[in-house]
Amino acid sequence: MGWAARFLTAVSFLAAGVLFAPDALLGGSGRSGAGVAAARLAHVLCFATAWGAALWVTFIGGIVMFKYLPRHQFGSLQGKMFPAYFMLISVCSAISVAAFAYLHPWKTASTIERYQLGFLISALGFDLSNLLVFTPMTTEMMMRRHKIEKDLGIGSEVGFSKNAEVARTSPTLAAMNKKFGMIHGLSSLANIMAFGSLAMHSWYLASKLQI
């Protein structure tokens, strides 16, 4: 993931430059027709990728896997998938911010366009918080809980009922469940907030379509 992290950093700095210092970054040369078309294409493709990936992982893929995979297998898979998922949508969100800021510079943007830029920046911020903070913490807590559960002889079953049953008689597991639940809850909240921000922007984009 090293190359992806470097690419995300570069794109994030580019987005910040286009947002806060467009004249310095673009040399005051204005926007060419090809540049505008490329920015529109980049914005639409990256927004659609981020929103679609978030929709699938949050409301379909994760739920189906939890219902049908053994719990430890499901957790290990999520521990590998989520860093890649949040890296993807963070890169896409950063490109969307840069493209939208290029198309609608802050100084000349309307109030609605500034709100939309705010939604995109919010989505990027929530995605980065998951990528850099919550997901590593959640994965670490999950692995520690897996070890406790293996010692107690559970974790190979599908669903969460066995954990809840054993936690009633195991203070160690109960305490770990509480810690994991708090971190996982924050991660889920950040993911939902990012998805909601992108959903608000999808309404704006839909209002611009002529079908």
Average pLDDT over every residue of 32-40: 82
Average pLDDT over every residue of 64-74: 94
Q: Please tell me the predicted confidence (pLDDT) of residue 1.
A: 56
| 158 in Cβ contact with 67 (< 8 Å) | yes
The tokens for 171 are 């203070």
pLDDT, tens digit, 9 for 90 and up, residues 2-34: 666 676 676 666 666 666 555 555 555 556 677
CA atoms within 13 A on the CB side of 208: 10
Q: Tokens 């809840």 — which residue?
A: 164
pLDDT, tens digit, 9 for 90 and up, residues 76-118: 999 999 999 999 999 999 999 989 998 998 888 999 999 999 9
Phi-psi region of 158 (alpha: psi -120 to 50; beta: other; left: phi over 0): beta
Q: Please tell me the predicted confidence (pLDDT) of residue 159.
A: 82
More confident residue, 166 or 12: 166
> Per the confidence metrics, is the pTM higher than 0.75?
yes
CA-CA distance, 100 to 93, in Å (whole number)?
10
The tokens for 43 are 């914005």
What pLDDT band is residue 71 in, cutting at 50, 70 and 90?
very high
